[in-house]
Structure formats: structure tokens, C-alpha cells
């Protein structure tokens, strides 16, 4: 199962200022080809990420003997950048060349993975090394996610938001279907080191491919900070960071979605501390089975990416979002059932992982479109980064707490906490006021969102 809900999981687009949103025909005939390098880059990066996550988990648990508390710390360090650097990165992305940032951060991540492979090959790999790589790679991942948020609105219009998100989720789900299963077999046959080396190569290739992306330039106000004093520049930087927070707080629907995601991510972080320990050590299912379980989640995610927009167009975004978030806790409970019914543990895990992928991807695709219509263009990076600071900043707390809880009690208690936190997150999301009927491809502003003309100011 995924370790968290990146907020937003897919890149969240925004409105382009001083222009009307393109029609669906325009999106299909003109804008989609522009996005092909981004789709390919995202797919390659997803393949590298899936392989790297599985290989790193196996290295930590099976090779270095990491405990649940140590796995919790490893996961926490991977998300630390979202708490510490989320808002500054949002300001940076709003003011910097986006393709260059994607290239640089992708190559940095590939280099960090390669350092783990080298240490493993030389017999000098330690948990401290993995902790350092997790921290730095998490920072690079923050830059990638925030940069994608700023790039997508320049590639597609508002009407194409949910459909592009669905295409990206479809590609990622296909990758998640194939790569973990293959990686699990490769780990079982050759070890985690070669698998991680292949993942590093895919990550680097994904970074290079994105250089083919051509992003239309937007008119931006003159940057007075370039000639300002250091003190004035710092003041402006802090002011821009605060704009993300104030904009988020002024939009009740977006704020409640953010709070709900915080609780769900907290639960996922608690669960992530014991997920690999549960499969490899508690149930002794092996690395190949772990990869297969993750791949089944990819099948569910693929189905979710395919049905999310048609369901929302037929039933309404608000209905589908509420139904999806309500299903999170029951689906998570299937993992607890697997622990209690060990004779059928694999079957319960497979069903739970499939349903989790289906429900979570459906939720993510549709809430990405909601967030897009609620966020002004000029503040997109800052608002998205503020949301990530909140929703991902809670992950280190959950990771450490989950590991300590599992070591002090047992895995069943930890998984039960995950179920409860999912239910709490759903309760918060249900308090959000959605329009009574809204298609996934609507370009109209949501209640509480700014006027398009005002967003250009």
C-alpha cells in the first residue's frame, strides 16, 4: 500500500490568468501532446521509485535487521523535508525555471540511490547511510512534486485537469502493477543491490526525459527582489510564504480536505512502520510475495484511475469523493484481518491492497481537480507547498510513533490505530461543503474560490 497521500498525489493544476479555459477539443488536440514528456518522465520515475522502495525496505529489514522503530524512523526522515522546507520550496518553484528543477532534483535522487548501491557492494552499508539518503532523497522528492504542481497548469487547461491526472495515475498504476512483482523476483534471485541499481538508472532516465517538455511561459510581474537589499528580499520571501497559508485558510473546502488528509497520512505513516515487518518477518511471506502484493495494489490503482472521472461525471464529484473516503477505514481493516486470520493472510492482504489502490486513486484524482479550481494561479506553488507541509509534515511523527508503538505493544495494535485514523480523516472530509452537482471536467470556480480575473493580480 502507498506510504502516504502526497498532497496532491498527482500534480495539482491551476487557472491561467487573463485567459478563458480551453475547450475539451483544444485540450485534446493541442495541450496533450505537450504533456507527453511529462507523462513519460513521471512513468519512468514511478518505476524507479517502486523498485527503490522495495529494494530499500528489503535491505533495511532482511539485510540490516531493522526493527519496527527503525523502519518508522527511516520513513519519518524521508518525509522530514515536507515539514521543514515545504513552504520555502513552494516560493522557490513559483519563481524559478520548473523544467530545470525537475532535471536537477531527479538526477540528485538517482545519485543518492547509487551511493547506497556502492556502499552495499563494498560491504559498508549501514542504517545511518540509509537514514541520510532517505532525508536527502525526500528533499529532492519535495522539489519534484512541487515543481510538477507548477508545470501542469501550463501544459493543460482547467477542463483537462482531472483527465490528465487520471492518465498520469493510469501510467503509474500500470508501473505499480508490473515493477514491484518483477523487483520482488529480482531481489529473491540476485539480491536487493542490483534491484536498487536498476531503480537508480530509471530515476536518472526519467529526469533526462523531462528536458523535452516545452512549457508555455506566463507573464509575471517584474521581480523587484533582484535589486532589493538582503533584508528586503528576506521580508518578501516570508510574506510570500505566508500568502500560501492565508489562501489555504480562506478556502474552507480546501482546508477541510487538507485536515482530513493529515489524519489519513498520520495513519498511513503509523502503518508504514510495520508494513514490511508484517510481510517479511511477522508473516514470513518473502520478498517476492511482498512485490506481488504491491503489484496487486497497482491493479486497483489502475482501475481507480480509469473509473474516477467517468464516475464523477455520472454521479457528481462530491458523492464519489465522500464514498471513497468513507471506504478507507474498512479497507484498512482487512490488513488487521490478515494478521488475525493467518491461514488466509495472503488472500486478505491481496484484497485489501487492491481495494486500497482503487479507493485512494479515485479520491486523489478527483480532489486534485477540486484543489485546482480553488487555488489562484499566482499562488499555486505556495498553497500546494503549504498543504504538503501540513499533510506530509505529520508523516515523521506518525512514522516514529508507529515504530515505537509496535515495539512496545504489537503489530495488531499499530494497525488498529491506522484504521481509527482513517475513520477520523473521513469524518473531517465529510464536513467539507461540496457543490451539489459537479463534473470532474468543470471549469467553473467553486464556492469560496477567487474570481479568475482576480487570481491574476
Q: What is the CATH number of the domain that holds 147?
A: 1.20.1250.20
| pLDDT single digits (tens) 335-346 | 999 988 999 999
For 109, the 3-state DSSP assignment is helix
What distances in angstroms separate CA 223 from CA 227, 248, 323, 374, one per listed residue?
Answer: 8, 24, 45, 25
CA 125/CA 116 separation, integer angstroms:
7
pLDDT confidence tier of residue 209, bands split at 50, 70 and 90: confident
Q: What DSSP state is assigned to residue 160?
A: G
CA 389/CA 147 separation, integer angstroms:
15
For 5, the 3-state DSSP assignment is coil
pLDDT confidence tier of residue 75, bands split at 50, 70 and 90: confident
16 domain-assigned: no
Q: What DSSP state is assigned to residue 15?
A: P
18 domain-assigned: no
Has residue 18 got a pLDDT over 50? no
- Residue 73 C-beta-side C-alpha neighbours within 13 Å: 14
Mean of pLDDT values over 212-217: 66
449 domain-assigned: no
CA 328/CA 33 separation, integer angstroms:
35
Mean of pLDDT values over 397-412: 88
pLDDT confidence tier of residue 226, bands split at 50, 70 and 90: very low
- Residue 117 C-beta-side C-alpha neighbours within 13 Å: 19
Q: What DSSP state is assigned to residue 451?
A: P
CA 158/CA 140 separation, integer angstroms:
27
224 domain-assigned: no
225 domain-assigned: no
Please state the pTM of the whole predicted model. Answer: 0.67
Is there a contact between 69 and 404 (Cβ–Cβ < 8 Å)?
Answer: yes
Instruction: Find the helix or strand (DSSP H, E) in which 287 lies.
Output: helix 287-315
What distances in angstroms separate CA 206 from CA 153, 180, 212, one per listed residue?
Answer: 20, 18, 11
| pLDDT single digits (tens) 229-250 | 546 655 666 666 677 788 888 8
Has residue 35 got a pLDDT over 80? no
Judged on CB neighbours under 10 Å (0-12, 13-18, 19+), 190 is exposed
- Residue 226 C-beta-side C-alpha neighbours within 13 Å: 5
CA 162/CA 317 separation, integer angstroms:
11
Residue 2's pLDDT is: 42
Q: What DSSP state is assigned to residue 122?
A: T
Q: Which of 147-156, 259-268, 304-313, 387-396 has the lowest mean pLDDT?
A: 147-156
446 domain-assigned: no
Q: Which of 107-111, 144-148, 169-173, 396-400 has the lowest mean pLDDT?
A: 169-173
| pLDDT single digits (tens) 182-201 | 888 888 888 889 999 999 99
Convert 3-35 to b/e letters by CB count within 10 Å (16 or more is b): bbbbbbbbbbbbbbbeeebbeeeebeeebbeeb
Residue 201's pLDDT is: 93
Residue 229's pLDDT is: 54
CA 189/CA 373 separation, integer angstroms:
48
Residue that wins the pLDDT comparison between 192 and 210: 192
pLDDT confidence tier of residue 23, bands split at 50, 70 and 90: very low
Is there a contact between 94 and 330 (Cβ–Cβ < 8 Å)?
Answer: no
Beta strands in 46-180 (DSSP E): none
Query: In 191-279, where does DSSP find H-type helix?
Result: 192-209, 230-249, 252-277
User: How high is the mean pLDDT of the chain?
Assistant: 77
CA 150/CA 124 separation, integer angstroms:
40
For 25, the 3-state DSSP assignment is helix
226 domain-assigned: no
Phi-psi region of 437 (alpha: psi -120 to 50; beta: other; left: phi over 0): beta
Q: Which of 121-135, 141-155, 200-214, 399-413 has the highest mean pLDDT?
A: 121-135
Among candidate residues 370, 353, 368, the one with its CA nearest the CA of residue 302: 353
Residue 340, domain extent: 24-215+235-435
Among candidate residues 192, 213, 210, 274, the one with its CA nearest the CA of residue 45: 210
CA 208/CA 198 separation, integer angstroms:
16
Looking up cell 503549504, which residue turns up? 386
229 domain-assigned: no
Is there a contact between 225 and 149 (Cβ–Cβ < 8 Å)?
Answer: no
Convert 277-304 to b/e letters by CB count within 10 Å (16 or more is b): bbbbbbbebbbbbbbbbbbbbbbbbbbb
Looking up cell 474570481, which residue turns up? 451
Residue 124 contacts by C-beta under 8 Å, 6 or more apart in sequence?
A: none
> Could you give the number of structural domains in the chain?
1
Amino acid at each position: 500500500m502507498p506510504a502516504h497521500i502526497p498532497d496532491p498525489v498527482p500534480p495539482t493544476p491551476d487557472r491561467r490568468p487573463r485567459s478563458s479555459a480551453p475547450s475539451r477539443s483544444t485540450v485534446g488536440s493541442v495541450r496533450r501532446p505537450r504533456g507527453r514528456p511529462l507523462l513519460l518522465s513521471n512513468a519512468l520515475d514511478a518505476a524507479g521509485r517502486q523498485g527503490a522502495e522495495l529494494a530499500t525496505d528489503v535491505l533495511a529489514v532482511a539485510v540490516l535487521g531493522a526493527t519496527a522503530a527503525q523502519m518508522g524512523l527511516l520513513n519519518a526522515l524521508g518525509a522530514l523535508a515536507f515539514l521543514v522546507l515545504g513552504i520555502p520550496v513552494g516560493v522557490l518553484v513559483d519563481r524559478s525555471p520548473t523544467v530545470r528543477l525537475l532535471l536537477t532534483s531527479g538526477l540528485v535522487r538517482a545519485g543518492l540511490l547509487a551511493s547506497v548501491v556502492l556502499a552495499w557492494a563494498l560491504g559498508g552499508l549501514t542504517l545511518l547511510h540509509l537514514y541520510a539518503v532517505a532525508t536527502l532523497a525526500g528533499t529532492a522528492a519535495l522539489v519534484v512534486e512541487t515543481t510538477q504542481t507548477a508545470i501542469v497548469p501550463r501544459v493543460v487547461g482547467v477542463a483537462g485537469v482531472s483527465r490528465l491526472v487520471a492518465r498520469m495515475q493510469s501510467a503509474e498504476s500500470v508501473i505499480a502493477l508490473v515493477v514491484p512483482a518483477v523487483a520482488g523476483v529480482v531481489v529473491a534471485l540476485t539480491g536487493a543491490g542490483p534491484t536498487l541499481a536498476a531503480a537508480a538508472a530509471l530515476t536518472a532516465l526519467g529526469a533526462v526525459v523531462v528536458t523535452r517538455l516545452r512549457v508555455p511561459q506566463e507573464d509575471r510581474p517584474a521581480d523587484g527582489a533582484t535589486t532589493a537589499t538582503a533584508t528586503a528580499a528576506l521580508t518578501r520571501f516570508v510574506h510570500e510564504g505566508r500568502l500560501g497559508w492565508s489562501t489555504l485558510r480562506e478556502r474552507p473546502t480546501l482546508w477541510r480536505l487538507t485536515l482530513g488528509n493529515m489524519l489519513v497520512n498520520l495513519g498511513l505513516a503509523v502503518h508504514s512502520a510495520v508494513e514490511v515487518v508484517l510481510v517479511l518477518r511477522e508473516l514470513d511471506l518473502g520478498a517476492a510475495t511482498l512485490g506481488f502484493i504491491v503489484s496487486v495494489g497497482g491493479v486497483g490503482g489502475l482501475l481507480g484511475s480509469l473509473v474516477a472521472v467517468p464516475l464523477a461525471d455520472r454521479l457528481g464529484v462530491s458523492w464519489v469523493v465522500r464514498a471513497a473516503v468513507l471506504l478507507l477505514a474498512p479497507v484498512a481493516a482487512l490488513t488487521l484481518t490478515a494478521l488475525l486470520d493467518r491461514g488466509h493472510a495472503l488472500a486478505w492482504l491481496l484484497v485489501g491492497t487492491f481495494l486500497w489502490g482503487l479507493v485512494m486513486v479515485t479520491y486523489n484524482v478527483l480532489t486534485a481537480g477540486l484543489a485546482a479550481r480553488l487555488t489562484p494561479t499566482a499562488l499555486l506553488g505556495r498553497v500546494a507547498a503549504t498543504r504538503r507541509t501540513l499533510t506530509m509534515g505529520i508523516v515523521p511523527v506518525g512514522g516514529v510513533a508507529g515504530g515505537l508503538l509496535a515495539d512496545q505493544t504489537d503489530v495488531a495494535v499499530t494497525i488498529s490505530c491506522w484504521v481509527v485514523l482513517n475513520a477520523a480523516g473521513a469524518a473531517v472530509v465529510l464536513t467539507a461543503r461540496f457543490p451539489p452537482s459537479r463534473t470532474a471536467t468543470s471549469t467553473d470556480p467553486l464556492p469560496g474560490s477567487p474570481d479568475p480575473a482576480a487570481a491574476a493580480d
